[in-house]
Amino acid sequence: MHSRASGLHAVLLAAVSLVALTGCPDAAPAPCLIQRPFLQGYTIKFTLEGTPPAGCEDVLPSTFADNWRFDGFDAHQIWVKSDSIPYPPGDEGGPNSAVLGNGTFDEVPDADNICTIAEMTSFGGEAPEFPVLGTTNITYHPTNLRFLDGARYQGSTFEGTVEATFGTCTGTYSVQALSPSPIGFIGPCEDDSLCDPFGDPAQGILASGLNPDYAIACVKEEWVTTYLTGDSELGICFFTKPFPGLK
């Protein structure tokens, strides 16, 4: 009897130990994601911080817009290009191209679902027919780009700081961005209907592609109509609230 009971006790102890040792791990958060170029990039609102340097009042816009395309590479490297700055003749791209910027992305989001690119290398070149300014040289130097990530948002919006140089004038801008590109993917809007995140499959209306949690409307402010649509009656679907822009 004693040996049998010892055997039983050993088995029960082993079962409890198995349970205790293995435990129940939580799922790790989704890796940091960035929206790929097939979504036509991010449309970005630039807002000047402070006052422009002397002599630059007519050069540095107080707000403007641009469309950037990011792409992800090995070792969490991110490269970016502005739609306003084409590859110059003879430039076939590659890591040495001056029109491309580079930075390193976080691997996993923080507790607030934020993934950051601390700094990107400066990039730029000649921007032909830039609204208001005409042909001008532009250089961007982004820092502290904070993407809202996780399974629900997947890097579809970010905020940050960009030092923008137009010619010889440099200003520091705070930025807020949205993907899929409202100007390149969704297209100009006359009203809020194009911004509907759900669409209506039964009516053949495609989803806008915008995250349904975002506070979005058809925005026709000057920075949109001047720098993106060129028509005061046409806006883009964009945030009505500051980052993270949730309803």
Partner 1 sequence: MDRTTLRRRVPGLGEPGRLRALLVAAVMLACPASLAQGSTSVLTGNVLDASTRAPVADVVVTATSPALQGEQVVVTDASGLYRVPQLPPGAYTLRFEKETYRPYTRTGIEVTADRTLRLNVELLPEVAGSETVTVVGTPPVVDVGSSTVGTAINNDFIRNLAVSRPNGLGGANRSFDSLASTAPMAANDLYGVSISGSQSPENSYLIDGISVNDPAYGVNGSPLTVEFIDEVNVITGGYMPEYGRTLGGALAATTKSGGNEFHGTIFGTYTPGGLTGAQGPLTVVGGTPSILSTRDLDYIWDIGATLGGYIIKDKLWFFAGAQYAKQRYSYRREYQKAQVDSTGNFITDPETGQPIYDPIEGGTSRRFALEKGWNYIGKLTFLITSDHRLSVSVNGTPTSGGGDGDYPLRIPGLLQLRAPPNAGTYNGSGFNVFNLTSKNDSLNVTAELNSSFLDKRLLLDVRVGWHHQLDEGVPADGSDFQTGAEGTLAGTPNLVTSTSNLQNIARLEPDVPEAVRQACSGPFADLECGFTGYAVGGAGFIERLKLDSYQARGVLTFLVQGAGHHVLKGGVDSSWSSYEHTKAYTGRAAWQYLDGNSTPDGLDALSEARRFGSLAGPDQPVTLDSITAKSKSTIIGFFVQDSWSILDKVTLNVGLRYDSLWLSGADGVTRMSLNDQFSPRIGVVWDPTQQGRAKIYANYGRYYENIPLDIADRALSTEPQIFGFSDTDCDPVGQGGLARCDAAKRLTSGVRPNRRWRSAAADTTPVDPDLKSPANDEVVAGAEYEVLANARLGINYTYRNLVRTVEDMSNDDGNTYFIGNPGEGIGDTFPKAKRTYHAVTVSFTKTFSDLWQAQLSYTWSRLTGNYDGLYRPEDGQLDPNLNSTFDLKALLLNQDGNLSGDTTHNIKLFAAKEWPILPTFSVTTGLSFTANSGPPINYLGAQVFYGPGQAYILERGSGGRLPWVTSLDARVSLNFRISKDSTVSASFEGFNIFNSQRPVTVDQNYTFDNVGPIIGARNGSVPAPYGEIVRIGPNYDPNLTFAENRAAGNVESIQAASGSLPKPRFVQGAPAQVVLPDPFQQEGFVNTNPNWGKPNNYQPVRSFRFSLRFTF
- Contacting positions for partner 1 (CB under 8 A): 4, 7-8, 11-12, 14-15, 18-19, 22, 24-31, 33, 35-37, 39, 41, 69-75, 77, 79-81, 83, 86-87, 92-95, 97, 100, 150-152, 154, 156, 180, 197-199, 201-212
Q: Is there a contact between 31 and 148 (Cβ–Cβ < 8 Å)?
A: no
- Measured over the CA atoms of residue 184, residue 187, residue 188 and residue 193, the dihedral's sign is negative
The helices-and-strands tally (H runs, E runs) of the chain is 3, 11
* H or E element that contains 13: helix 2-22
- Residue number with CB closer to partner 1 (8 or 132): 8
> Alpha-carbon Rg of the chain, whole angstroms?
24
Give the nearest distance from C-beta 230 to partner 1 in angstroms: 18
Give the nearest distance from C-beta 199 to partner 1 in angstroms: 7
Which residues share a beta bridge with 158? 147, 177
- Residue number with CB closer to partner 1 (62 or 97): 97
Q: Is there a contact between 176 and 157 (Cβ–Cβ < 8 Å)?
A: yes
Give the nearest distance from C-beta 157 to partner 1 in angstroms: 13
- Residue number with CB closer to partner 1 (24 or 54): 24
Give the nearest distance from C-beta 208 to partner 1 in angstroms: 8
